[in-house]
Amino acid sequence: MKPDVILTWPTGMDYPICRWFLSHNRKKFNKIYVVLYPHGCLNFTDFLMKNWQGVEFLASQTCNEKWREDAVNIALEESKSDWVWFAEQDFLFKDDYCFEKVKAAMKKYDVIGVRQGNRLHPMCIFAKRSVIDKTDRDFGTGEKHHDHFSKVCQQWAKFAKIGYLADLGLFEGRDWYHMSSMTWNYFRIIDNDIKDMHEVANFLVWNAYNRAVKVPQSPVFQGLAARAEALLTTFGKFLHPDE
């Protein structure tokens, strides 16, 4: 019962921790689909395709407000597994026991994720392919401009048996972590505009691990990570005076 993984990935960003996490846990998944869509002034496409093995790269040309639903559906057209894990690059499970609990819960639930208000947060949603196909596969924000997956979650609520990570004894900060607004922060660094940064202390720790994690590293991303330190800390400016 290995799920396919679906990630939507902006061409203008790299996520070394995510690449390490998925590669480290590669045997737990069937296919890993990385759907590249155009976003950002940088372009990591060639680097990723040359340096990340064991994943299937797909491409979406959509760069308007429908970028996510189009990218997800491109991957779903290729996916053949009975389960799909819709994931985001800023989500991590602590260890193997988290996957083991999710695998056991797949016998009980149709959809498993993290409750946020009246929906599931798109950072981590495991879903049976059969219940995905019973929806209109609209992974957008819905009419009231909520977050992505809001509309499909509303449809699942009418017929699917939904379980939450907390029901499995998996809790934020202990068993899993979500580095909220990570991509937003990096794009603010690129724009040299740091007034609206989120969770700066946690972001700096994440950024340090991004630089150090043992995967092939892009010199461009290494420069971006150094620039983040230089803009956000005086010690970083001391270490990287030219950034």
Q: In angstroms, how far is CA 216 from the centroid of its own chain?
A: 19
Q: Look at residue 239 in the predicted model and tell me its pLDDT.
A: 79
The rounded distance, in Å, linking the Cα atoms of 17 and 212 is 9
Return the CATH class of domain 4-175. alpha beta
Q: Is pLDDT of 146 > 70?
A: no
Q: Is pLDDT of 22 > 80?
A: yes
Domain residue ranges of the chain, discontinuous segments joined by + = 4-175, 182-237
Q: Is pLDDT of 142 > 70?
A: no
Contacts of 66 (CB under 8 A, 6+ apart): 140
| pLDDT, mean of residues 13-34 | 98
Cβ 52 vs Cβ 19: under 8 Å: yes
Q: Is pLDDT of 74 > 70?
A: yes
| Range scoring the smallest mean pLDDT among 53-62, 117-126, 129-138 | 117-126
> Which element (helix H / strand E) includes 203?
helix 200-212
Mean pLDDT score of the chain, rounded to an integer? Answer: 93
pLDDT per residue as tens digits for the range 160-176? 999 999 999 999 999 99
Neighbour-count burial for 224-238, b at 16+ CB within 10 Å, e otherwise: bbbbbbbbbeeebee
Contacts of 10 (CB under 8 A, 6+ apart): 36, 37, 38, 39, 40, 183
